[in-house]
A and B are shown apart, each in its own frame.
Chain A
């Protein structure tokens, strides 16, 4: 990857305001250069790069204000937008509002009605082929597309999403719904809700999670800015930098798993001691995400930290495949391969074995303990 060439390309973009340098803008917004570089280092670490890339990232972010972003809401709950708003240090929300040109986002934008529709149309026209498209929510598709209409012309959501995809430079499906269909696509999927990738021929990067953490949403935009290409993806088109490891791999309770110390029921003595949650249904061994490392809400907590097992929310069709959420997967684990194809090419057979091994381990160690 030639970073210097990419940076030159970024620099060749027309500046929105040649007079305002990033440093002066940051200063006006109450950030020091130091804060900013600290943030860039954190981002470098998060993207799996060495800290020598921090200045490169800083430069890339500096240029990011020229990146128009269109965010669409389809069949969704707005949880992903809420997660975006939680973006953190140093006050990333302000960075987003100031340095990414957020052309359309229904939860935040001031315009309504005809004016809002015009904003979308103008943005797609003005930034044709250059904008980043982020889509939240699944899409009622085909003969069921009438389950979502928008605007005075009652356009189908599917039609709007397709159009926006056609003219985007990069497309991110934000959240479990947009990536894989999510809750509304769970059986019996009464609205024929589809993932974004099923309604467009363009490449879609999936950023699943219900919702994905604020870091996974923002980090992907930065990844695009930095590389100018799509990030390395796993079998489900999830960026490897975020979804490469299993929850189980870096779990803070892993030691208890290895020691055969399990919570047998919520609220028991093991729960008070932070034992492994596998036997009360944790899906961490089958789920690929960086929650164990980055947690949520500025590292405040995460499901396993709060004593509840992982429900597998960044895996395809997890609503149908991972339940009941408070019981181990056991025999019904492999009714679908959804959770089993992995970024690091572990085949289904291997992970099946892993799954069985985990189950066997839990049983054996429990016998030992009890």
Chain B
């Protein structure tokens, strides 16, 4: 038995550490994932003006930059009983769609892609063969003509010849579980570079109605402020044009590459058969004017006895048995209670990059080991994310989803159960992006139609200082289901809590030792080389971790947490 530590997990948002214990055959027997940063934003929003909350919660994350903004605003709207005008709701949908396309593309290429793409191998690609390969996966592949690929190859060669790989240095190039041919690596690398361009365009989409990206600034409690942009036909045109440009990338690069990756990696053990937690949950999302694009729900026990139901909000709790907070009890987010209680690491010897046993720090796995809490639904761990949205909508027979999923399964010659894996999480994200890219402009059409009869963008409201309010937002962020819960008293925030996608997926064990999905999906994994745990990183990245989002705390009693004595 041997323990290995992977910290930092890079190419994610935030600070995440993974520890695993492997047996003599390098098969993972135990897994622990924890966050090593705490910021305390829920504590900070307390006693503030409810109108300011969205701006502060937005700073939970600069990647899901719009998700927490909208959640903070809509939780307050829900508490105050405000229904924003239709125009405002549609603009919010368009900004959300822009974020999804941005986030999913960047995730696959810049963050997750290098787990599948061996950059150095692309150097030996035959560009003619690569062009032929690209044509197998798309009729009109993007940036994959012989000339394009030759240019990318030369660019790479020049870069490698400098003798300094910069951000590509010291990775696991040449690892035996990389399965792309040099030609396939070159195609993906070409799209990696294209994505660096398209991500700017995708960010501009948010900025058109949102002022800027990251951290847009046009939502306000009651509606949106970008009324001039909404009433400006050139802005509508700008949005549509840029949206179609990003959508083109989704179809000619992202979709094609996922199919190419699936064809090769479906035979790679380290991306298959790792369902993680087999309970799924998602919210309804993408208001289009008359309907929602995706339905919400809960799908429990997919492997043994699938049961589908609507979300019961009262069944959500969080506990902290293995989290660095004092109160371990499972409580509903409206009533949660937590105080930081840091107990630190233990000294141990673990394997370093040269396979030597060195003195390191390790989690106290019997005690507390993460700043992330353990959310549970009816006491069960749940997996959230695009895979949840796609599975639940497939089970609910959402026709758009059924069509996409069936087409992909047929083309790749795989079964639905094969999607219960790292490959499935990655493919589901692409399917979601594709569906959003093909349907979100319906919200733009609805907006234009509605503007003919109604140009209102904000609903009026009052905050009665003598009344107490509580409300919540439940929706989806690109990483999965997101909820914010707020209580307002004396005209200020008295309690706040965010239960976020990465909290569900990255949760440590609970009192019953039930694992979160990150931990569960690593168990049983065989690692080829303990000094280069590429397989672990690949699985963790498939969730698109957003760890700053996952770490939060609030304190019901209104104490200043800074004054707590903390055991080190």
Contacts and interface: CB of A to CB of B under 8 A. Distances in A.
Given A78-B63, A308-B218, A148 B49 contact: no
Nearest to B547: A78
Interface stretch (B162-170, B422-430, B503-511): B162-170
A228 B27 CA distance: 53
B10 A296 contact: no
A347 interface: no
A306 B229 contact: yes
Interface in A40-82: 73, 75-82
Contact of B151 (A30, A82, A88, A308): A30
Interface in A271-327: 271-272, 274, 295-298, 300-303, 305-308, 311, 319, 323-326
B114 A110 contact: yes
Contact of A76 (B208, B533, B548, B562): B548
Given A146-B344, A190-B560, A183 B62 contact: no
Contacts of B8: 106, 112-113, 116-117, 150-151
B397 interface: no
Given A150-B36, A307-B218, A118 B167 contact: no
Nearest to A281: B51
B196 A85 contact: yes
A295 B211 CA distance: 9
A105 interface: yes
Residue with the highest number of chain A CB atoms closer than 10 Å, among B119, B456, B537: B537
Interface stretch (A94-102, A240-248, A336-344): A94-102
B222 to A, nearest CB: 7
Interface in B341-363: 342, 344-345, 350, 352-353, 359-361
B215 A154 contact: no
Contacts of B210: 301, 306
Interface string B155-185: 1001101111011111110000000000000
A357 interface: no
Contacts of A106: 8, 10-11
Interface in A184-222: 184, 186-193, 210-211, 213
A97 B5 CA distance: 29
A183 B207 contact: no
Given A211-B62, A297-B207, A308-B220, A107 B11 contact: yes
Interface in B221-242: 222-229, 231
Contact of B200 (A110, A274, A298, A319): A298
Given A147-B37, A187-B44, A113 B5 contact: yes
A107 B548 CA distance: 13
Contacts of B204: 297-298, 300
A219 B456 CA distance: 40
B212 A301 contact: yes
B217 A77 contact: no
A203 B40 CA distance: 29
A212 to B, nearest CB: 11
Nearest to B43: A190
A108 B151 CA distance: 22
Given A146-B344, A326-B220, A116 B10 contact: yes
B40 A184 contact: yes
Given A85-B196, A188-B44, A103 B166 contact: yes
A94 B41 contact: no
Interface in B274-293: none
Contacts of B215: 79, 210-211
Nearest to B61: A77
A114 B352 contact: yes
Contacts of B531: 114
Contacts of B52: 323-326
Given A76-B548, A113-B8, A150-B7, A188 B43 contact: yes
B456 A267 contact: yes
A163 interface: no
A149 B15 CA distance: 8
Given A150-B15, A188-B44, A296-B213, A107 B39 contact: no
Given A267-B223, A308-B211, A85 B199 contact: yes
B227 A271 contact: yes
Contact of B39 (A183, A272, A311): A183
Nearest to B11: A107
A9 interface: no
A190 B360 CA distance: 28
A316 B406 CA distance: 54
Contacts of A307: 218, 224-229
Given A146-B342, A152-B5, A211-B215, A17 B560 contact: no
Contacts of A297: 200, 203-204, 206-207, 212-213
Contacts of B37: 75, 147-149, 157
Contacts of A311: 55, 217
A188 B561 contact: yes
A301 B169 contact: no
Interface in A134-164: 144, 146-154, 157
Given A28-B158, A77-B61, A115 B170 contact: yes
20 contacts: A29-B155, A75-B37, A83-B214, A93-B196, A109-B167, A110-B170, A112-B533, A114-B531, A119-B170, A147-B340, A182-B59, A189-B562, A190-B43, A265-B458, A271-B228, A296-B211, A300-B207, A301-B229, A307-B229, A326-B51
Interface of B: 5-15, 36-41, 43-44, 48-49, 51-52, 55-56, 59-63, 65, 85, 110-111, 114, 119, 151, 154-155, 158-159, 161-164, 166-172, 193, 196-197, 199-200, 203-204, 206-218, 220, 222-229, 231, 340, 342, 344-345, 350, 352-353, 359-361, 455-458, 460, 531-533, 537, 548, 553, 560-562, 566, 568
Given A25-B158, A146-B344, A190-B561, 20 more contacts: A75-B37, A79-B63, A80-B62, A88-B200, A93-B196, A98-B159, A108-B167, A118-B170, A146-B342, A149-B345, A152-B5, A152-B360, A154-B361, A187-B44, A267-B456, A296-B212, A297-B204, A303-B212, A305-B228, A306-B209
Interface of A: 16-17, 20, 25, 28-30, 73, 75-83, 85-86, 88, 91, 93-94, 97-98, 101-103, 105-119, 144, 146-154, 157, 182-184, 186-193, 210-211, 213, 265-267, 271-272, 274, 295-298, 300-303, 305-308, 311, 319, 323-326
